[in-house]
Structure 1
Amino acid sequence: MEGDGFTMTWEARSVNSRHLDVKWRLPVMVRSAEARFEKVVRRFASRGRVDISLNLQVHREGLMAVTFNAPQAAAMLDRLALFAQARGDAFSPDYNRLLSMNFLWDDAGAELDEAFITRLEEGLADALEDWNRSREAEAVALERDMLERIVRLEEWTAVIQERAPQIKEDRFAQVRERLREVLARNESELDEQRFLQEITLLSDKLDVSEEITRLNTHLGRLKELMRSGGDAGKRLDFTLQECFREINTCGNKVQDAQISHLVVDFKNEMEKCREQVQNLE
């Protein structure tokens, strides 16, 4: 952006974080205004590691609230000239390079022009508005990706819910057949009452209806949180942990090859969701 006697370029980079942590790269002449710039940032950001830099080109001398260490600069140029002369090379100093040598510049301690600082604050605000628009665009893409994954998780949950009762019946039949074989070898008869007791215990171990109910509830909660707006990252992460607990229990209870493959895929998708959640505020 152009100002009255200066040109400014603000740049903001950020990654997600639990707290707001702002790192500044400012020219020496405006470092005293850092606290004011910090207040501007807090209007646009509540958390995250934010690196903000300002490239400032001043065309009007009255704005320069800095002092230049001319003796040190002259000594440096003289030494370079002697070095070039000793090598037989022509030496033509590039004075623009001195602008980037921070050790040659210092804050003059003078009050900065209020209109100048106000204009810098306006430029920073514009940059942060653009920064937030970029973050919102990224969030829309992340939301779409997350919702697609959640739908896939719901479909796999439905498959487990449909398959689990048949697995239980198959397991009952296997247990009955094995008992008959063992008893036949020992010339004994099956005690139906004892068998029913064992089947009841086995049924409890194989039943995943409660886990499926809770899992469906958690998946529905994930979609609600995605659409609720606000700071949902932590709640999404917690809900994903609950989903992981339920699907892990299902995998331990239902010993079936097809279900085991689904559980592995389920966990893999949830891990991807957790990685995405780390990028959401």
Structure 2
Amino acid sequence: MPKSMTGFGRSITENPFANVVWEARSVNSRYLDLKWRLPLFLRASESDLEKVVRRFVERGRLEVTCNFQPHRPEALDVSLNKPMAQAMLRSVADLARDMGHDFAPDYTRLLTISHLWQEGMKDAPAELMEALTSGLAQALEDLNAARLREGGLLASDILKRLDRLAAWHADIRKLAPRVKEEKFQALRTRLTSVLEKLGVEPSEERILQEVAVMTDKLDVTEELTRLGCHLDQIREMLGQSGDVGKRLDFLLQEAFREINTCGNKAQSIEVSRVVVEFKAELEKCREQVQNIE
């Protein structure tokens, strides 16, 4: 079964450094559009994490969030900007000396100055990265399970619509030869009548030749054959996995083109009614296919 591009996955893991919650949300998109919400220390590892994502997801707008709750201080990469702190303290000491006062700095006050503290300046330990990568993979597996369930529902809906399309396709196949014959006889009668009014003796061979050329333009046999092949291919691809969404969308566009040509060439009210229903159902199929990976 194909996968939907809509889904949600989550994993909750615990490692020696922290409790970690990964969440992955996806919606449809033409390509893989990846958005991260990561702790600062993981920013440098985005390219490695993206490789993990690409093992599970080929297409869709994907938002991945990591909620990191440490329970060991070494899990946090927090450091004091010492040059900045020293410069600030020296400046204040100079000011106190110039004013004739003693200066005894209260270093604990540095804890309240947020811009002196830097986070995420070093890479995460290898053991922590291995645990984080494993948690991300679990969340993506959960996401794919949801996408497969949704994909199965989409495929089931499209298959039901394909049954209707196949029935209408058969109706047009039955109507087309009758319409062609009716147009053939009508054109033959009109052409004979025109020639007689012009005082030209109608030649049976000539009339048949002209009428055959004109009615050949009404023939939709090739269009119906190609349309049937497209519908069969769509049905076959709905039983496959992987990136089939773009191919399904292309086949539906081609099917729409063929049925549109049938409606234009047939010049029949009965056929036109079926074509209108056919095109409306094809559009519904295409709306569903837009959500398939």
TM-score by length of 2: 0.74
Aligned AA (2:78): V
Q: Which of 70, 75, 81 is 1:63 aligned to?
A: 75
Distance 2:67 2:227 in 1: 52
Distance 1:33 1:206 in 2: 63
Distance 2:42 2:117 in 1: 12
Partner of 1:257: 269
Helix, strand or coil at the partner of 1:280: coil
Is the 8 Å Cα contact of residues 156 and 266 (structure 1) preserved in structure 2?
Answer: yes
Partner of 1:30: 42
Distance 1:218 1:110 in 2: 55
Distance 1:68 1:270, change over 3 A: farther
Q: Which of 115, 118, 124 is 1:106 aligned to?
A: 118
Distance 2:286 2:80 in 1: 52
Q: Which of 244, 249, 264 is 2:256 aligned to?
A: 244
Q: Is 1:41 matched up with 2:40?
A: no
Partner of 2:146: 134
Distance 1:108 1:22, change over 3 A: closer
Helix, strand or coil at the partner of 1:228: coil
Deviations 1:87-109 (A, max 9, x none): xxxxxxxxxxxxxxx98963253
Distance 1:35 1:229, change over 3 A: closer
Q: Which of 132, 135, 138 is 1:120 aligned to?
A: 132
Is the 8 Å Cα contact of residues 29 and 66 (structure 1) preserved in structure 2?
Answer: no
Partner of 1:172: 184
Partner of 1:208: 220
Distance 1:256 1:9, change over 3 A: same
Distance 1:56 1:197 in 2: 81
Deviations 1:99-127 (A, max 9, x none): xxx98963253453333332222211110
Residue 156 of structure 1: how far off its partner (Å): 0.8
Residue 144 of structure 1: how far off its partner (Å): 1.1
Partner of 1:97: none
* Number of equivalent positions: 251
Distance 2:36 2:144 in 1: 18
Is the 8 Å Cα contact of residues 245 and 289 (structure 2) preserved in structure 1?
Answer: yes
Partner of 1:149: 161
Distance 1:270 1:110 in 2: 54
Distance 1:2 1:204 in 2: 69
TM-score by length of 1: 0.77
**Structure 2 alignment gaps of length 5 or more:** 1-11, 82-113
**Structure 1 alignment gaps of length 5 or more:** 70-101
Q: Is 1:159 matched up with 2:175?
A: no
Distance 1:110 1:241 in 2: 51
Partner of 2:32: 20
Helix, strand or coil at the partner of 1:32: helix
Partner of 2:286: 274
Aligned AA (1:167): V
Q: Which moved more, 1:240-249 or 1:254-263?
A: 240-249
Distance 1:47 1:168 in 2: 46
Distance 2:259 2:292 in 1: 24
**Percent pairwise identity:** 49
Deviations 1:162-203 (A, max 9, x none): 011111222233334445655676777654333212221122
Is the 8 Å Cα contact of residues 184 and 212 (structure 2) preserved in structure 1?
Answer: no
Q: How does 1:223-242 map to 2 (within 5 A)?
A: 223-242=235-254
Distance 1:103 1:259, change over 3 A: farther
Partner of 2:89: none
Q: Which has the higher contact order (CA 8 A, sep 6+)?
A: 2
Distance 1:62 1:179, change over 3 A: closer
Helix, strand or coil at the partner of 2:217: helix
Residue 8 of structure 1: how far off its partner (Å): 1.9
Residue 52 of structure 1: how far off its partner (Å): 0.6
Distance 1:65 1:202, change over 3 A: same
Residue 50 of structure 1: how far off its partner (Å): 1.7
Is the 8 Å Cα contact of residues 21 and 50 (structure 1) preserved in structure 2?
Answer: yes
